[in-house]
């Protein structure tokens, strides 16, 4: 693995580009920063990660998956706070107009300072103290640092503008008039909040339930960098778990309670301690993690990361410090993974309390609430309007309906005031420029006692949110290997469920006698839906193996001269161990189906079949 083997990151990146896992978009036109296209290999890996995600989260917990619009009208992001607060600070080179992300520019500058030898220890300590805070600074603090350290535009040494708040959302007008302001969503979450009522109804009014969404989001990053880590368009997968705030226990918590996980709490961070290995139920008991449901998701996230092949020793959960957490959140943990860029956030998991629904209630005037059964029925006072519709009809004839509508739409307070006035005298009201005289015979308002069995509340939301590109890149780094016997031979050992193609089909040579077997085997694989690549090019078999290894194909079927005779058999080779076994063609479906769905391991299967070794050494030598 990368860390242990001390490999240059460019080795991986070259391979990823050369074999088109993914690459910069539109590069025939010079490319666009922060946009990537996934080639056949990356696209398949991404699809497999998402498919496992669906199974691990959605199917396992019966979540309600939905698929909402990317184009979003402005009001939604006014409600969510994105219009006001989804900004990064930008600095402009005052001569050239080049833009920089303020925190990154200052961090880079200070990090370079640290490397200078003749800087005092005192200064170094100060810089080290400042560095972790820069990401959360406001414009004034950032400007002060720029002045204090005399920071200039890095390429020109020109002066920099003051920090400017730059909203990261892409905007585009919707419709032909250009009047409706729209944005590309910067997260999928809002689609789930605005559909809360429909989802609650689909779930027959019952809480808790989780909505989930997989989709593309967009952020107009000031300066995209670090490959897939900071991009302008990306796949994400999000869960919104709606729960009664008075009960955040989780019925399946016991299934993860015993997991021991690296937790890097806010207290650890303040005290300069490192992360600690803690059992999840201890963490809940010690109130390190706010509640069971949040802890349940941390456990499920941990299991997911391991299942897709991320190294469990390079995962930690870092708690947000109070200054980086939104004011409404009651707890937030990031799943961070260690890669060549350092510890990077791959997944966030926040208890956002009832903030999101409350905001949409405020802006939409809809009742986005759930009901809870009261153990003891409650007496409450409610105002009730009484309209004498018959008399209204007789008095106002064809205008009756607008008068009724007017009276019914009065707020509780307006109705009370009108009622009180009517006790003194009749009242004149104006609707659509017409006047109507209302009397106490027509309208009354009374406060009555009512017994209620249920009460309404705004659900809390616990939100795990996954950046798929980051997870995929981390997974690739953690599984990158180089053969000890030949440092030109690089490969990835992905779990079979994640591997882009499950097997390769390789005739030993271009001898035409092999063709019917290529066809037979590919027909069999197609039938049962196992993805594969045929490489029948004239290259030496060793070279073709190497090519399959590079794109992380875990198993290779070789058709050789023994295949031609009865009983027809093939050689099955495993990528990492290089071990080979001979399997009858009739049995490869059984073998590959079980291997590719991870029902059995290679070790288990390979014990059942004769090992094939004679040609292996020869082949390895053949590698070009």
210-269 positions binding its own copies, by CB under 8 A = 216, 218, 220, 222-223, 232-233
Residue ranges in 335-488 assigned as alpha helix (H) = 355-364, 389-396, 400-408, 412-424, 468-478
**CA 309/CA 494 separation, integer angstroms:** 6
- Pick out residues in 65-104 that bind its own copies (CB under 8 A): 65-73, 75-76, 90, 97, 99
Least spacing, CB of residue 174 vs its own copies, in Å: 6
**Does 425 interact with its own copies (rule: CB under 8 A)?**
no
- For position 29 contacting its own copies by CB under 8 A, the verdict is yes
Q: Rule CB under 8 A: is residue 158 a binding residue for its own copies? A: no
Q: Calculate the alpha carbon distances from 226 to 9, 336, 408 in Å.
A: 11, 16, 59
Decide: is 561 part of the binding site for its own copies (CB under 8 A). no
Q: Which of 170, 328, 406, 457 binds its own copies (CB under 8 A)?
A: 170
Q: How far apart are the C-alpha atoms of 588 and 559, rounded to whole Å?
A: 12
Please list every residue from 47 through 66 that binds its own copies, using CB under 8 A: 47, 55, 59-60, 62, 64-66
**DSSP code per residue over 507-523:** ESSS-GGGHHHHHHHHH
Please pick, from the candidates 14, 155, 172, 274, the single residue that binds its own copies as defined by CB under 8 A: 172
The Cα-based distances of 93 to 105, 161, 472 in angstroms read 12, 6, 35
Q: Which among 37-45, 380-388, 484-492, 570-578 is the span making contact with its own copies, rule CB under 8 A?
A: 37-45
DSSP 179-206: -EEEEE-SSSHHHHHHTHHHHHHHTTT-
* 191 part of the interface to its own copies, by CB under 8 A: yes
- Cβ proximity to its own copies: between 332 and 592 the closer is 592
Q: Does 417 bind its own copies (CB under 8 A)?
A: no
Task: Choose the binding region for its own copies from 41-49, 123-131, 310-318, 421-429 (rule: CB under 8 A).
Answer: 41-49
Which residue's CB is nearer to its own copies, number 177 or number 413? 177
Cα separation, 338 vs 317, whole angstroms? 11
Q: CB-hemisphere CA count at 13 Å for 278?
A: 22
In the bound complex, what is the minimum distance in angstroms from residue 432's beta carbon to its own copies? 20
Closest to its own copies by CB, 2 or 505: 505
Strand segments, DSSP code E, in 458-612 are 460-467, 480-482, 490-492, 503-507, 532-534, 555-559, 569-574, 580-584
Residues with Cβ within 8 Å of 249's Cβ and at least 6 positions away in sequence, in order, are 291, 292, 293
What's the start-to-end Cα distance of the chain, in Å? 24
Q: In the sheet that 180-184 helps form, which strands lie side by side, from edge to edge?
A: 71-73, 180-184, 171-174
Characterize the bridge pairing of strands 503-507 and 171-174. Answer: unpaired
Q: Which residue has the tokens 């918590």?
A: 253
| Residue 553 CB coordination number (10 Å) | 27
> Which one of 10, 14, 33, 274 is in contact with its own copies (CB under 8 A)?
33
Answer yes or no: are the C-beta atoms of 86 and 218 closer than 8 Å.
no
Specify the 3-state DSSP secondary structure of 605: helix
Query: Could you say whether residue 26 binds its own copies (CB under 8 A)?
Result: yes
Q: Which stretch binds its own copies (CB under 8 A): 25-33, 133-141, 448-456, 485-493?
A: 25-33
SS3 (DSSP) at 501: coil
The footprint of its own copies on residues 363-392 (CB under 8 A) is 363-364, 366, 368
Task: Report the alpha-carbon distance of residue 544 to residue 207 in Å, rounded.
Answer: 54
Contact flag: residue 559 with its own copies (CB under 8 A): no
Q: Which is nearer to its own copies, 283 or 494 (CB)?
A: 494
φ and ψ of 579, to 5 deg = -70, 145
Pick from 419, 490, 533, 573: which binds its own copies (CB under 8 A)?
Answer: 533
Which parts of 580-599 interact with its own copies (CB under 8 A)?
A: none
Q: Closest CB to its own copies among 41 and 137? A: 41
Query: Cis (ω within 30 of 0) for the bond into 567?
Result: yes
Q: At what angle do helices 292-307 and 40-53 cross, to 10 degrees?
A: 140
Binding mask 497-526 for its own copies (x = CB under 8 A): -----------------------------x
Binding piece for its own copies, criterion CB under 8 A, among 24-32, 155-163, 307-315, 373-381: 24-32
CB of 171 to its own copies, least distance (A): 6
Q: Whole-number minimum distance, CB 360 to its own copies, in Å?
A: 7
CB of 18 or CB of 128, closer to its own copies: 18
3-state secondary structure of 485: coil
Binding flag, residue 14, its own copies (CB under 8 A): no
CB contact at 8 A, 301 and 462? no
What's the min distance (Å) between Cβ of 549 and its own copies?
15
Taking the least distance from each CB to its own copies, the nearer of 64 and 310 is 64
The reply on whether position 15 binds its own copies by CB under 8 A is no
Instruction: Give the nearer residue to its own copies in terms of CB position, either 192 or 289.
Output: 192
Candidate list 1, 9, 15, 43; residue touching its own copies; CB under 8 A: 43
**Alpha carbon distance 81, 30 (integer Å):** 36
Residue 127 C-beta: closest distance to its own copies, Å: 27
Q: Which of residues 341-360 bind its own copies (CB under 8 A)?
A: 360
Among 48, 195, 460, 474, binds its own copies (CB under 8 A): 195
Smallest distance from its own copies to CB 206, Å = 8
- Residue 286 as a binder of its own copies (CB under 8 A): the answer is no
Nearest to 44 by CA among 551, 532, 500: 500
580/451 Cα distance (integer angstroms): 75
Nearer to its own copies, 200 or 591 (CB): 200
40 makes contact with its own copies (CB under 8 A): yes
| Segment contacting its own copies by CB under 8 A, of 21-29, 142-150, 326-334, 430-438 | 21-29
With a CB cutoff of 8 Å and minimum separation 6, the contacts of 212 are: 57, 58, 63, 64, 65, 66, 192, 237, 238, 239, 240
Residue placing its CB nearer to its own copies in the complex, 70 or 389: 70
State the nearest-atom distance from the C-beta of 561 to its own copies, in Å: 24
Q: Is 207 in the site for its own copies (CB under 8 A)?
A: no
Contact between 171 and its own copies by CB under 8 A: the answer reads yes
CA pair distance 420, 510, nearest whole angstrom: 98
Q: How many residues bind its own copies (CB under 8 A)?
A: 79
């Amino acid at each position: 693995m990368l860390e242990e083997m001390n490999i240059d990151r460019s080795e991986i990146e070259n391979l990823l580009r050369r074999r088109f896992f993914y690459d910069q978009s539109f590069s025939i036109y010079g490319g666009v920063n922060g946009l990537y296209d996934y080639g056949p290999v990356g696209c398949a890996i991404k699809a497999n990660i998402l498919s496992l995600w669906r199974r691990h989260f959605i199917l396992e917990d019966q979540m309600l998956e939905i698929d909402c619009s990317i184009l979003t009208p402005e009001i939604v992001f006014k409600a969510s706070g994105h219009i006001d607060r989804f900004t990064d600070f930008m600095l402009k080179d005052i001569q050239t107009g080049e833009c920089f992300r303020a925190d990154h520019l200052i961090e880079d500058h200070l990090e370079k300072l640290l490397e200078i030898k003749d800087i005092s220890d005192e200064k170094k300590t100060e810089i080290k103290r400042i560095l972790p805070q820069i990401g959360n600074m406001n414009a004034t603090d950032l400007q002060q640092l720029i002045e204090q350290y005399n920071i200039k535009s890095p390429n020109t040494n020109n002066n920099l503008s003051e920090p400017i708040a730059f909203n990261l959302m892409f905007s585009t007008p919707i419709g032909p008039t250009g009047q409706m302001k729209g944005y590309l969503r910067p997260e999928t979450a809002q689609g789930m909040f605005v559909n809360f009522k429909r989802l609650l109804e689909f779930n027959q009014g019952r809480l808790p339930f989780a909505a989930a969404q997989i989709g593309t989001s967009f952020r107009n990053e000031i300066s995209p960098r670090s490959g897939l880590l900071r991009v302008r368009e990306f796949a994400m997968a999000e869960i919104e778990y709606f729960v009664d705030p008075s009960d955040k226990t989780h019925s399946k918590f016991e299934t993860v309670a015993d997991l021991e996980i690296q937790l890097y709490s806010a207290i650890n961070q303040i005290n300069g301690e490192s992360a600690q290995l803690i059992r999840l139920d201890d963490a809940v008991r010690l109130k390190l993690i706010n509640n069971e449901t949040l802890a349940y998701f941390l456990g499920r996230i941990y299991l997911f990361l391991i299942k897709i092949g991320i190294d469990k020793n390079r995962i930690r959960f870092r708690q947000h410090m109070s200054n980086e957490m939104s004011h409404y959140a009651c707890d937030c943990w990031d799943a961070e993974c260690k890669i060549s860029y350092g510890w990077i956030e791959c997944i966030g998991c926040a208890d956002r309390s009832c903030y999101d629904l409350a905001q949409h209630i405020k802006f939409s005037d809809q009742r986005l609430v759930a009901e809870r059964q009261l153990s003891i029925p409650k007496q409450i006072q409610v105002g009730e309007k009484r309209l004498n519709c018959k008399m209204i009809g007789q008095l106002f004839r064809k205008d009756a309906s607008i008068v009724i509508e007017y009276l019914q739409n009065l707020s509780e307070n307006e109705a009370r005031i009108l009622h009180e006035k009517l006790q003194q005298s009749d009242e004149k009201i104006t609707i659509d420029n017409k006047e109507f005289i209302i009397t106490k015979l027509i309208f009354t308002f009374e406060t009555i006692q009512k017994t209620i069995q249920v009460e309404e509340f705004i659900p809390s939301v616990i939100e795990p949110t996954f950046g798929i590109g980051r997870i995929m890149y981390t997974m690739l780094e953690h599984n990158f290997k180089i053969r000890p016997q030949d440092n030109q031979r690089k490969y990835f050992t992905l779990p079979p469920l994640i591997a882009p193609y499950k097997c390769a089909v390789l005739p030993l040579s271009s001898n035409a006698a092999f063709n019917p077997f290529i066809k037979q085997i590919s027909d069999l694989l197609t039938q049962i839906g196992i993805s594969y690549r045929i490489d029948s090019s004239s290259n030496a078999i060793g070279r073709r193996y190497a090519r399959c290894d590079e794109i992380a194909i875990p198993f290779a079927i070789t058709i050789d001269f023994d295949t031609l005779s009865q009983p027809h058999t093939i050689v099955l080779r495993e990528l990492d161990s290089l071990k080979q076994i001979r399997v009858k063609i009739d049995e490869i479906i059984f073998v590959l189906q079980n291997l590719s769905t991870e029902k059995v391991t290679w070790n288990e299967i390979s014990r059942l079949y004769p090992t094939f070794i004679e040609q292996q050494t020869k082949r390895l030598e053949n590698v070009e």
